[in-house]
A = this chain, B = another copy of it.
Amino acid sequence: MESTVAALTAEFGNLVVTAAATREQHGNTASWVENQPPDAVVFPQCTADVQQIVRICAANGVPIIPFGTGTSLEGQVNAPFGGISVDTRDMNKVLAVHSEDLDVVVEPGVTRKQLNEHLRDQGLFFPLDPGADAALGGMAATRCSGTNAVRYGTMKDVTLAMKVVLANGEEMITGRRAKKSSAGYDLTRLFVGSEGTLGIITELTLKLHGIPEAISGGVCPFPTVEAACNAVITTIQTGIPVARIELMDALQVKAVNAYSRLTLPETPVLFVEFHGSEASVAEQSAHFGEIAQEFGGGPFDWATRAEDRTKLWQARHDAYWAAGALRRGSKSIASDVCVPISRLAECVAATQVDIAASGLVAPIVGHVGDGNFHLALLVDTDDHAEVSRAKALLERLVERALAMDGTCSGEHGIGQGKMKYLDAELGKPALAVMAAIKAALDPAGILNPGKIVACG
């Protein structure tokens, strides 16, 4: 390790940092797993730098942990075996905007807000929004989705192609800029969601959309979570192209009211947004209002002003912090599952019962158009009994989701935190295939070891 750091320092000078604070920040994790800092952090400026870093680490068998903004939630950037954190912060250039093709080429350190600032003048936007101002490389690596995914898809859908540095230091492209291709194995989708375990993303070509002519939306209260979920099912089934449709349970609304100084009714609510022409958003909104009413929800005031809408969505984004503020001094453990939408109400309701029975505090938010919801489990980590109850609750959450043909991770990835669930979800043959792919592409096991699949 020492010689690796020395070799990196010889090459990259003060772009190699070994200060404890920097290392700890790069081992950031929002999971149960403790902070496991890398031995050093290096800040490449270009793909060639990443190749050089990989070659140096590979020569010494030293782990490489790619780092975007460190906003992943399952320990993806932790360094359980030590190693070098490769922070793409400085690779933050928007390389090309192709407005006619509705795509953009970026370096991996560009964040989603930075990209949207860059695009605004051209009437274009990048729709994915996980809340945090995450780096696009990290968003691809964890197969991020977020609030707009119900309409615009996840990172697997919006990533056209990538440039990746492989374990041997070679640079590979995963695809071309054509909107579709059937040319061989889908390397783009293989690397989206691979969490740095197969290669390091150094360039991304992403799909864009025109900024919609009109946006409408607002908040709609419901008597129960079931009623809200049933309204969502009907909305999706009717083909209303809703852009975002987000559930908060009553506890989360209470948290948001306190944190963001709102006066929402403290019942389950849906935050809803429609994109389209003036006429189309009016029609969509009215239609949704009727559906909500059918299920006992409403009133749905959709003709909100842009400022009010911005305030609402800011509150939605701050839900994680608002939840944390419900119980000062607690650690917020965020976990998510995703189930077929027909099972969503049942899954959320059973989880609420379980939370209450466990004596825990855990507000719920959900990207319910996709059947995806999150707990923010507020835990006093000094109380071992409570930690045990919380861990058991999360185990049951995943079991419940899997029993409903769902997944242990809708959008947070696997990282360290959810490796133990993959067998129950997909079975041994799938795990063996993942391990075979990992071994084929990274035989020495130097790329983000200890994530997704066990090495060697």
Chain A residues in contact with chain B, CB under 8 A?
98-103, 142-145, 149, 153-154, 156-157, 166, 170-187, 189-190, 192-194, 198, 209-210, 212-213, 233, 236-239, 241, 275-277, 279-280, 283, 287, 338-342, 370-372, 401-402, 405-414, 418, 421-422, 425-427, 429-430, 433-434, 436-437, 439-441, 452-453
Contact = CB atoms under 8 A, between A and B. Distances in A.
A194 B187 CA distance: 11
Contact of A187 (B99, B149, B430): B430
A308 B418 CA distance: 54
A189 to B, nearest CB: 3
- Complex A-B, nearest 6 residue pairs according to Cβ-Cβ distance, in ascending order: A189-B189, A100-B342, A181-B407, A172-B429, A440-B440, A436-B440
Given A185-B437, A238-B210, A283-B279, A180 B370 contact: yes
Copies in the complex: 2
A99 to B, nearest CB: 7
Nearest to A157: B157
A409 B340 contact: no
Given A172-B427, A186-B156, A437-B185, A237 B100 contact: yes
6 contacts: A142-B182, A172-B427, A178-B405, A180-B407, A183-B426, A184-B414
A156 B189 contact: yes
B409 A236 contact: no
Contacts of A421: 183
A185 B180 contact: no
A185 B413 contact: no
A14 to B, nearest CB: 31
A241 B434 CA distance: 37
Contacts of A241: 241
A340 B190 contact: no
B440 A405 contact: no
Contact of A280 (B283, B408, B410): B283
Contact of A409 (B99, B183, B434): B183
Nearest to A190: B190
A340 B179 contact: yes
B190 A186 contact: yes
A372 B283 contact: no
